[in-house]
Amino acid sequence: MATPILLTTLNATYQHCAFGLRYLYANMAELQAETAIEEFTRDQNPQDIAEKLLAHHPKLIGFGVYIWNTRETRNVIACLKRIKPELVIVLGGPEVSYEAENQSICQLADFIFAGESDFLFPQFCREYLREGKLPSGKMISGPLPEIKQIALPYAFYSDEDLRHRVLYVEASRGCPYQCEFCLSSLDKAVRSFDLDRFLGAMEVLITRGARQFKFVDRTFNLSVATSTRILSFFLERIHHGLFLHFEMVPDRLPAELRSLIRQFPPGSLQFEIGIQTWTPDVAKLVSRRLDYPKIRENFAFLNETGVHLHADLIVGLPGETLQTFAAGFDQVTALGPHEVQVGILKRLKGTPIIRHDAAWGMVYADEPPFQILQTRTLDFVTLQSLNRFSKFWDLYANRGNFPHFMRLLRELSLQHHPPSLFAEFYAFSEFLSRRHLQRHSLALLSLVESAWVYLTQERKLDPVRAREILIQDYTGSVKRDIPRFLRAETSELPLVSTKRLANNATPRRQNRHLSQGEAQGSAS
Ligand code: SF4
């Protein structure tokens, strides 16, 4: 049977499901019966995707376009248009909402929706399918939809989504701040969904078996009244074994929130805390508001709770140098987050950061994800090194597989003048870059071997101590044979230890950090 309207996107991985498509589907009203969602991952073959889409005999296909899938989506659309030129192709999503005119994907498409299209898209489909009418212009936009009238998408998470995928939820849209590198800086205000309706939908999801919730609200702790209600709601149901992820601004944690946060069991909350830069002049340049003493105070409080803490830093902001970034990295890791994500600046379409392009010599890649290649204060070679630093930091520190090794690097970092974890890990990262030239993915065993060679040959550490540390990491939570290069003098060392799960719903990576008590700042 034919399905006239298809909603589709290429997700980053299977685990991420398309929240935006479910919103559109929820708001299709009487057209729902004629609409289907088809999700793919971006590593799938474009022709296979086109074949699957065409099997529905659609009249119109709407694609969700994001920075991570633009190139792959373009290839699918090119294939579709060659086979069936009359098929109406519609694009939406942040990547095509701004600066659409120069993008090749937009040139291939028939219509492009800019901004939130919860009501505009169904209206467009209605006029096309019922009356055969299509707009005269290619770009379609309208006023922001009245948020309280938007149909919620949560009923369209399938049982399989609930069991195997990250469930995105949102209680509000928009952000009042103006950080120039961020798309949300273009929002004029924060708009909130009706809280009773939202929590009612969460109740249904929990009853259906949902256990992990990822809030996409840009700043969860903006309205204390709202965040207090949401936390209280989940705290009352925490016995189900829930895991909740929130993004928050780091300098706002009033007493009401603190008292609730304290009551959550370890491993049930994760806060993603955007710091982005610890250099006041850079923060000022990009209009980012940060109260550093308050951030320190809030981290000190959070370190006393069982919240899994994930801090974000950005490399390549205008005015940032290697020295200022290094100093900021040391400050942030000393705050004690379990993970520090070192992100490379990306130029998101429509963001005001382009006003610094000339003055700060900002050069971005011209292919998605449009990463910064060079600035007046960070040359290409240094940015390449920092790119690798970010990748290796993720493998060794963030993933939680090397708690003892990371503790040792912290100890070794005290030998630098001044003491610097950045300097210590940067040297390790440069060593890894030479050793793993051209390697995209590295198996755990290969990481262990590199750490072994680094400690014993580069850092001239006592092999007995290096061996003990690496065996503890390698066999820390999973039963594994000790590799040949670590085998000597190991008879007295533990082969296996089994770590306790902090919470049934806590993802494995977060659980590793919490059960090892490896708060990164604890040794500094
Ligand atoms: S970085 Fe965070 S605080 Fe700044 S505009 Fe974006 S969402 Fe808002």
108-123 average pLDDT score: 97
The correct CATH number of 5-140 out of 3.40.50.10860, 3.40.50.280, 3.40.190.10, 1.25.50.10 is 3.40.50.280
| Backbone angles phi and psi of 351, in degrees to 5 | -80, 145
Q: Give CATH 3.40.50.280 domain extents, the chain.
A: 5-140
21-67 pLDDT, tens per residue? 999 999 999 999 999 999 999 999 999 999 999 999 999 999 999 99
376-430 pLDDT, tens per residue? 999 999 999 999 999 999 999 999 999 999 999 999 999 999 999 999 999 999 9
Find the 504 Cα to ligand 1 centroid distance in Å. Answer: 31
Q: What is the pLDDT of residue 476?
A: 78
Quick one: what percent of the chain has pLDDT higher than 90?
Answer: 85
Mutate-to-test residue for ligand 1 from 215, 219, 288, highest number of ligand atoms within 8 A of CB: 219
Q: Global pTM?
A: 0.91
172 lines ligand 1 (CB under 6 A): no
* Residue bearing the CA closest to ligand 1, atom 3: 177
Say how far apart CA 459 and CA 146 lie, in whole Å: 61
Q: Where are the beta strands (DSSP E) in 58-110?
A: 60-64, 88-92
Q: What is the pLDDT of residue 448?
A: 94
175 lines ligand 1 (CB under 6 A): yes
Q: Give CATH 3.80.30.20 domain extents, the chain.
A: 157-378
Instruction: Answer whether residue 203 shows pLDDT above 80.
Output: yes
177 lines ligand 1 (CB under 6 A): yes
325-340 pLDDT, tens per residue? 999 999 999 999 999 9
Regarding the domain delimited by 157-378, which CATH topology (the fold level of the hierarchy) does it fall under?
A: pyruvate-formate lyase- activating enzyme (3.80.30)
Q: What is the pLDDT of residue 102?
A: 87
Say how far apart CA 213 and CA 189 lie, in whole Å: 24
Q: What is the mean pLDDT of the chain?
A: 92
Alpha helices by DSSP H, 151-269: 159-164, 195-208, 224-236, 255-263
Q: What is the pLDDT of residue 438?
A: 65
Q: Is 332 left (phi over 0), alpha (psi -120 to 50) or beta?
A: alpha
Q: CB atoms < 10 A from the CB of 142, how many?
A: 13
Beta bridge partners of 248: 273
Say how far apart CA 366 and CA 385 lie, in whole Å: 20
Q: Which of the four pLDDT bands, split at 50, 70 and 90, describes residue 126?
A: very high
Q: What is the pLDDT of residue 523?
A: 29
Q: What is the pLDDT of residue 273?
A: 97
Instruction: Answer whether residue 481 shows pLDDT above 90.
Output: no
Q: Which of the four pLDDT bands, split at 50, 70 and 90, describes residue 504?
A: low
